[in-house]
Structures are given as C-alpha cells and as structure tokens.
Chains A and B, each alone.
Chain A
Amino acid sequence: MEALLAIGIGTLVAAGIWLVLRERSFSVILGLTLLSYAANLFIFAAGRLAPVAAPLALPGAETLADALPQALVLTAIVISFGMTAYLVALALRAKGETGTDHVDGREDGP
C-alpha cells in the first residue's frame, strides 16, 4: 500500500509541476490543484498507513490512527480550496484587464 500511495503522490507532483510551468493561467491553476492534492495525501501518510486502526477511540479497538494528520489535512484542504478560488477569480480579472490568459499578461512573452 505504501508503494501504491508513493507512486500516486509522485505522479500527482510530476503532473502538477509540468502544468504549473505551462504558460496559460488555467493550466497553472490545475497544476497547483494537483500539487495541493499531493501535499494533502503526503500529510495524511505522515500519520502512517494502517488499515485496521480505528479512526477514533472506539471501545475494543486494538490500535488507533493518528488523528492529528487528519486535522492538519482538513485545515490544508480548506486553505488550498480558498486559495484556488481566489486564484481563479484573479485569473479571470487578469484576463479581463490584460485581454489574454497568458501568465505574463501578454502574448509574446517577456
């Protein structure tokens, strides 16, 4: 399971980096979203992957999952969601102000 998760996170990061380096703001936003998914999964994995651990203190549970990374991931999800929403709004406004969705605000680059 660790190998599967590691490959998944690695794929997300690779795709995210490729997209962030693209020149259109929509690709960049998608790339940032993928990167933040990867970061969230990574934090979740920091609490160790245990298929039999109970998520909360249930009576009779042998082992308990670490609850803190879950709380951290929740916070991180909320923050990255808000930031992505802001970035989409900003990208739309930049498109309206500069007339192009190129990240440099002009077509021919700097």
Chain B
Amino acid sequence: MMHLPLLPVLVPLVTAVLMLAVHRADIRVARGMAAMSLGGLGIAAILLLRQAGDGTVAAVSLGNWPAPFGIVFVADRLAVLMVATTTAIAVPALLAACGGLDRRGRYFHPFFQMQIAGLNGAFLTGDLFNLFVFFEVLLIASYGLLVHGGGPARARAGMHYVVLNLVGSIIFLIALGLLYGMLGTLNMADVAERLSVVPAADAAPVRTALVLLVAVFALKAALLPLGFWLPHAYGAAAAPTAALFAVLTKVGIYALIRLSSLALDAPPGAALLSPWLLPVALTTVAVATAGALSAVRLGTVVAHLLLLSTGMLAAALAEGGVPMMAALLYYLPHTTLVSAALFLLVAQIAAARGHSGDRLVREAPMPGRAWLGASFMVLAVAVTGLPPLSGFLGKVMLLGAAPPNAAGYALWVVFILSGFVAALGLARAASTLFWERAAPAENPPVPAPPAPRGWAGPVALVLALGFVPALVLGAAPLSAYARAAAEQLAAREPYLRAVLPAGAAAVAREVRP
C-alpha cells in the first residue's frame, strides 16, 4: 500500500473521466459510478486514517523522481483528517443531488467527482505548484457546480465568483514565480529548509512572495476584507453543491495552516501572520454574525454562519500553539459537517414551504414541520456551540486554549458574543419558519402545490444529522487525533524527513545569477 496517498485523487479522477465516456447513458449509470467512487474513497480514507494514526507520514514521489525535483504526495495527520472530512461530506451531498438536481444538466456527476479529486489533491500534495493546479481543478469544478441548475441569481453570483478566483489564481502564480526565482524550488518541505539559508539581501522578495501566498489563501478562506463573495455565492448555489462547498473555504484554512507550520516561523516569513490575522479574523466573525442576523433568507443565514466559522478557525490559527491548533483541528471537521447538514436542511425546508422557499416570511404551516423543526434545533444547537453538542465541545477547547492576555480576552468576548447573537438569529428564523402563521389576508393560499419530493433529500439530511451524535460520541478519539496532528505540525521534522530523507537533502544546485 505504498501508493495509498494517491488513491483519494485517482479514484474520483478516473471515475470522472469514465463518466464522460458514458455520459449519454442513463443517469443511473452515473449515479452508480459515483456511489462506487465514494465507496472506494471511504475505504481509502479509513486506510489512510489507520496509517496516519500511528504518526506515520507517508510520502509518495510521483514517477520515483527524488523529492526536490519531482512532485510528492504527503499524507500526514492533518492532510488525512481533511480527506476524511471531505469524503464524509460527499456522501450526503451526492445523495441529496440524486434527488433530482443531477438531472437538470448533463455533467453534474463528473463535476462532482472532479471537485472531490481537486479537494483531496490540494490536501495531499507536497508541492506548491501542484497545489496551484489542484486549486484550479477544484475551482473549475466548483464553477460548473455553482451555476448548475441555472437561473439569473446563479449566473450573476457565478460571474463574481469566477472573476474573483481568477484574480486570486493570477496572484498565486506571481507568488510562485517569485518564490521559485528566489529559492529555486517549489517543494514545500524544500522551501521550508531553504528559507533558513536565504541571504539577507533576498529576504524582502521572499517575504513578498509569502505575503502574496497568504493573501491568496485568505481569499480562498473568505477572510474579510476578501470574503464578501461567500454569502452571495453560497446562498445562490443549490443545496447539495453548497454542502460540498462547505469544505471549499476550509482549503484556504488548510493552506494557511500548512504554510504557517512550514514557512512562517523562520526569519523571512516570521511575524507575517501574527500582527494582523487575529484582528482580521475577529472582524470576520463580527461581520458574519451581523450578516446572519440581518439575512432575509435562511440559505444566506447559513452561508454567514459558514463565514463565521472560518473567522473562528482563522482566529485560532492566529493565536497558534499546540493546544489551540488541537482545538482548531477538532472544530474544523465539526463546523464543516454541521454547515453541510444545515445547507441540506435549508433545501428540505424550502421544498416543504413551496411558494416562499427559504425566505424568512410567515406562511401557512408546512408539511412535516415537526421533524424539520427538530432537525433545525439539533443543527442550530450544534452550530452555535450550545451544550451538549459538538459545537460546545469545540468552543470550550478553543476558549480553554486562549492565553490570558489581551488577545485571549478579545477571543473570549468575540466567540461568546457571536455564539449568543447567532443563536438569537437562528431562534428568530425558527420562530418565523415553524411557529408564526400568515394571516389569511396577508398571504393568500398558494395555488401551486409544493414540488414532489423524493426520498433522497430526507435520507441525505438524516445521514448528515448522524454526524452530530457521531461527533459527540467520537469526541475523545477525534480530539486525541487532533492533538496528535497539532503536535506533528509543531514538530515539523517528521514531515520534512518524510519528504527529504536525511542525507538526500544535500542536492547539488547550480549557482543562480
């Protein structure tokens, strides 16, 4: 199983290509292939979790080219955690999409598989240019998924999303060119090693390249002031797509974590994040909370909650230290899974209400509101961090790791207030959706019956709801894993030595003019 880290990329990639070959066949063929691909991914994720669980950092050199020259895939604890989270979200998202969304265009399933391949590749690659390529793979798939199903709102949001991300890609390319010109390498481990021997005269361009990289990752993570696109785009996306997109912002957070663990503690990159990341992250949390409170559609509320969680993760990253990172790595899968479940729930509520969709206006009681309301309560409690669910555990870990200084107190105040206000916003939304009834004159009865609903959406929602008890009952092993991952990141040596074995590091390099 030497090539195990390649499987999470190869399985969906090959599946997507095969799907294109048979795209004229019945949709059930594509669905079956997608299910098989997710089954394979699940097995690969479990095997990788077992492998990484004992601290092994598995590195695969493509084509057996030695590390600084060839592309490497590295499966350490952090990367495997992200791959497992992606796989876990893909299952309910795919199931919900099979409820009819995938019929509204021909290429939903290939896009979906390419999206997963891009995500997993971005998590597993050990090369910065390869990271760029996988970013593009996941972005082009997300462009297709975002506008899937059509409509003016999606076309407009898609336009903004694509232009923003293309500008981000160009800045990424410029940063990579600068970094390669200065260091002569783009292998992440090799970059980390060579940063320590950068001459003082070259420090400024190298630092510029790192700043550009951080800016790009902050754009992907939707940190303010680069995050205003997120509620707009995610609110317009179809529910299964939005659920999968919950992982997309986490790619930015992942890249920031990776970069900060490898490159931002040595002199050229030192103190690059710390002065401004915490204020920016806390502002993101505050603005997202206000946005959740002022949104007029439930989908936009959930998109703002996703933005809020990104801000919290970035604040934890800004604080740093092993306990904080451990809390971050527990909170990250929790918030991703719960946000995805919320997006699926929004679609169910909108379908049940028919006429007014997910707009927060009073309407006649919807069918099945008992179980939809109960699901809403469970997810709202989880996402706002109220006891006893996993959000509370994550928040306690984050707050417990905050240091007793000004920054730590700011973290406390913002996290607790934002949780309170978000709970208030969700409670208000719930009372409008589930309790208040429209007066007959205010809102005449809708002639059109709600669209017929299959079993796929509710089953997907139940599956996604299952994440919440799983995260609570599995809190001990998950937090132990997160702690070990944080320690592995802080140690750095296991990652560097897995990619560049001791002795092989002394590669002859030409002297560059």
Interface of A toward B, CB cutoff 8 Å: 20, 25, 28, 32, 35-36, 38-40, 42-43, 45-48, 50, 68-69, 72, 75-76, 79-80, 82-83, 86-87, 90-91, 93-94, 97-98, 103-105
CB distance from A78 to the nearest CB of B (A): 10
Question: Majority SS of interface residues in chain A?
Answer: helix
Task: Name the residue among A32, A45, A48, A104 with the largest chain B CB count within 10 angstroms.
Answer: A32
CB distance from B423 to the nearest CB of A (A): 30
Does B28 make an interface contact (CB < 8 A)? no
Residues of B close to A35: CB separation below 8 A: 167, 170
CB distance from A96 to the nearest CB of B (A): 8
Q: B159 contacts A42, CB within 8 Å? A: no
Q: A39 contacts B174, CB within 8 Å? A: yes
Q: A20 contacts B167, CB within 8 Å? A: yes
Closest to B182 in A: A46
Task: Identify B166's interface contact among A40, A83, A105, CB under 8 A.
Answer: A83
Q: B163 contacts A98, CB within 8 Å? A: no
Does B82 make an interface contact (CB < 8 A)? no
Q: B181 contacts A98, CB within 8 Å? A: no
CB distance from A65 to the nearest CB of B (A): 11
Chain B positions 132 through 162: 1 when the CB is less than 8 Å from some CB of chain A, otherwise 0:
0100100010010001001110011011101
Task: Identify A90's interface contact among B143, B152, B167, B174, CB under 8 A.
Answer: B143
Known: A39-B173, A83-B136, A90-B147. A105 touches B162 (CB 8 A): no
Closest to A49 in B: B513
| Alpha-carbon distance between A42 and B161 when the two chains are bound, in angstroms | 25
Question: Majority SS of interface residues in chain B?
Answer: helix
Q: B155 contacts A94, CB within 8 Å? A: yes
Residues of B close to A46: CB separation below 8 A: 177-178, 180-181
| Alpha-carbon distance between A97 and B154 when the two chains are bound, in angstroms | 10
Q: B162 contacts A79, CB within 8 Å? A: no
10 sample A-B contacts, Cβ–Cβ < 8 Å, listed by A number: A25-B159, A32-B166, A35-B167, A35-B170, A38-B170, A42-B173, A47-B181, A50-B513, A86-B143, A91-B159
Known: A39-B170, A97-B152. 11 other contacts (CB 8 A): A32-B170, A35-B167, A43-B176, A48-B512, A69-B180, A90-B147, A90-B162, A93-B147, A94-B158, A97-B156, A103-B160
Interface of B toward A, CB cutoff 8 Å: 129, 133, 136, 140, 143, 147, 150-152, 155-156, 158-160, 162-163, 166-167, 169-170, 173-174, 176-178, 180-181, 512-513
Task: Identify A45's interface contact among B136, B150, B169, B181, CB under 8 A.
Answer: B181
Task: Name the residue among B133, B140, B150, B177 with the largest chain A CB count within 10 angstroms.
Answer: B177
Q: A93 contacts B176, CB within 8 Å? A: no
Residues of A close to B152: CB separation below 8 A: 94, 97-98, 105
Q: B143 contacts A97, CB within 8 Å? A: no
Closest to A25 in B: B159
Residues of B close to A98: CB separation below 8 A: 152, 155-156
Residues of B close to A103: CB separation below 8 A: 159-160, 163
Number of residue pairs across A and B with beta carbons under 8 Å? 99
Residues of B close to A91: CB separation below 8 A: 159
| Alpha-carbon distance between A98 and B181 when the two chains are bound, in angstroms | 44
| Alpha-carbon distance between A50 and B510 when the two chains are bound, in angstroms | 15
Q: B159 contacts A76, CB within 8 Å? A: no
Task: Identify B158's interface contact among A32, A47, A90, CB under 8 A.
Answer: A90
| Alpha-carbon distance between A75 and B512 when the two chains are bound, in angstroms | 23
Residues of A close to B133: CB separation below 8 A: 75, 79
| Alpha-carbon distance between A93 and B156 when the two chains are bound, in angstroms | 9
Residues of B close to A47: CB separation below 8 A: 180-181
Task: Identify A97's interface contact among B155, B167, B169, B177, CB under 8 A.
Answer: B155
CB distance from B199 to the nearest CB of A (A): 17
Residues of A close to B150: CB separation below 8 A: 97
CB distance from B133 to the nearest CB of A (A): 7
| Alpha-carbon distance between A97 and B162 when the two chains are bound, in angstroms | 17
Q: B513 contacts A48, CB within 8 Å? A: yes
| Alpha-carbon distance between A36 and B170 when the two chains are bound, in angstroms | 6
Task: Identify B155's interface contact among A32, A36, A82, A90, CB under 8 A.
Answer: A90
Q: A87 contacts B181, CB within 8 Å? A: no
Q: B159 contacts A94, CB within 8 Å? A: yes
Residues of B close to A42: CB separation below 8 A: 173-174, 177-178
Closest to B151 in A: A97
CB distance from B38 to the nearest CB of A (A): 26
Nearest 5 CB-CB pairs, A to B? A46-B181, A105-B156, A43-B177, A94-B155, A39-B173
